[in-house]
Structure 1
Amino acid sequence: MQDLAAPQPRRTQEERTATTRMALIDATIAVIGKWGYAGASTTLIAQTAGVSRGAMLHHFPTRAVLMADVVRYVFDHEMAEYEDIRVRTGLGDHLYDWPRMLWSVLGRTSGMAVLEILQATRSDPELAALVVPMQEAVERSALAVMRGAFGGDEAQALAVMRLMVWSVRGLSIAERYLPHRAETEDAIELLGRLLQQAAPGGQIAELGPLLAR
C-alpha cells in the first residue's frame, strides 16, 4: 500500500500576512527597478506579487504607505548586509573600505528603488511625511556606528559619511547610463584610494585638516 504523504501544517494568519507583505515589497522593488517610480502603479505591483489589489490595500492602504515600508525593509536589510560583508571578507575595519562595501549594497536594485522613493518625496507630501523622518533616523543611527568605529567629532563624521553614501548613490544613477559597469566601479575604487591617501590609518580624525572650516 502506497504511503500517504503527511499533511502539511496549515500556516498561521501571521505567517500568511508576512508572506503577502513580503511578496508586495519584493514586487515593488522589482517594478521600480524595471519601470521606475512613476511606472510603479499599485495595480502593476499587485499583479507582479500575484495578489489581488484588494488584498494589497488591506496590507497597505495607500501607495505611500507601501513605499515607506519598502524603504524600512531595505534599510534594515542593508544593515544586515554590511555585517555579512564584514564577516565574509574582513573589510570594514578601515574608512577606505566603505566605498566598496556601500557600492556592493546600494548599487543593487533595492538600493536604486529606495533612491527613487527618496527622490519622489519632493513632490509627494504624504510620502515625505513617512519617509523623511525614517531617513533621518537611519542617518543618525549610521552616524553613531561610524563614530564608534572611526572616531571624529559629529560634524566630521557626518561630512565623511554623506560624502561616501551620496557619492555611491549618485554613481548608482550614473551606472544606468554608462556603457560599462567597470567604469563606475573604477570611480568607486578611486574614492576609496583617495580616502586611503588622506587617512591611511582609516580614522576620521586624520581628515581633520581637510574638514577644517
Structure 2
Amino acid sequence: MGAVTSSSSSSSSPKAVHAPKQDRSRATRQRLLEAAVACLAEHGWAGSTVSVVAERAGVSRGAAQHHFPTREDLFTGAVEYVAEERSAALRALPVQGRAEVVAALVDLYTGPLFRAALQLWVAASNEEQLRPRVTELEARVGRETHRIAVELLGADESRPGARETVQGLLDMARGLGLANLLTDDTARRARVVAQWAALVEEGLG
C-alpha cells in the first residue's frame, strides 16, 4: 500500500508543476505582445527593438527570443494580437443604432491599437521580410472587420451599393486614424462622423 501511495503522489506532481509553468509562459508572451504594441504606438518601428520591448515587458532579451525568435516574429505577433483585440472589441459592442456603430468603428481606428498597426504598415513598406507577413495578416483583418461591421450595421449586401457603403465607412475610419497621428482631430472628427452616420443610414436603408 505504501508503494502505491508513493507512486500516486509522484505521478501527480509533474502535472502540478507543469500547469503553473505553462501559465507563466502564456503570461510572459502576453506581456511581450502588449509591450510591443505600446512601443510601436509610442516610438514607431525604428525605436521598437526586441531589447526595448523586453525591458518594457520586464523580461530578459533571451526570454523574449524564446517566444519570438526574430524581431519580425515579435511584431507580426503584436499586430496579430492587435487584430484580435480590435475584432474582440467590435464583437463586444452591444446591439445599438447605426450612428453608435459608426462612432464605435471610428473610435477603434483612431485609438492606440490602430496606431500601432499603422507603424507596422510603414515598416513593412520598407522591410522585405516583413511585408508579405503584414500584407497577409491585414487582408485577413480587413475581411473580418468588414464582416463584423456588416453584422453590426444590419447591412443587406444583396442590395446595390450596400457593400460599398460599408467599405467606404471603414476606409473613412482608416483615413481619420491617419489624420489623428499628427494632431488631435477630435473636434472636426465629430462632425465628419455625424455626417457619415447619416450617409450610412441612407445607403443601407
- Name the counterpart of 1:195: 196
How far the C-alpha of 1:117 sits from its partner, in A, is: 0.8
Candidates 115, 119, 125, aligned match of 1:116: 119
Cα gap change, 1:161 to 1:131, in 2 (>3 Å): farther
Cα gap change, 1:195 to 1:41, in 2 (>3 Å): same
Distance 1:194 1:155 in 2: 21
- Name the counterpart of 2:46: 38
Q: Gapped runs of 5+ residues in structure 1?
A: 1-8, 207-213
Distance 1:171 1:199 in 2: 16
User: Aligned letter for 2:141?
Assistant: V
Q: Gapped runs of 5+ residues in structure 2?
A: 1-15
- Name the counterpart of 1:55: 63
| Pair member with larger Rg | 2
Larger displacement relative to structure 2 (186-195 or 119-128): 186-195
- Name the counterpart of 1:145: 148
Distance 1:187 1:137 in 2: 31
- 8 Å contact from structure 1 (residues 121, 131) kept in 2: yes
- The count of residues paired between Structure 1 and Structure 2 equals 187
How big is each residue's C-alpha offset from its partner over 1:93-117, in whole Å with a ceiling of 9 and x where there is no partner?
Answer: 42x4343112322322222001111
Candidates 47, 72, 80, aligned match of 1:64: 72
- 8 Å contact from structure 1 (residues 107, 172) kept in 2: yes
- Name the counterpart of 1:104: 107
Candidates 13, 16, 38, aligned match of 2:24: 16
2:74 matches 1:73: no
Cα gap change, 1:126 to 1:154, in 2 (>3 Å): farther
Distance 2:175 2:37 in 1: 18
Task: Using structure 1 for the length normalisation, give the TM-score.
Answer: 0.75
RMSD: 2.6
How big is each residue's C-alpha offset from its partner over 1:27-78, in whole Å with a ceiling of 9 and x where there is no partner?
Answer: 1122122211211011111111111111111110111111111111111111
- Name the counterpart of 2:137: 134
Cα gap change, 1:51 to 1:199, in 2 (>3 Å): closer
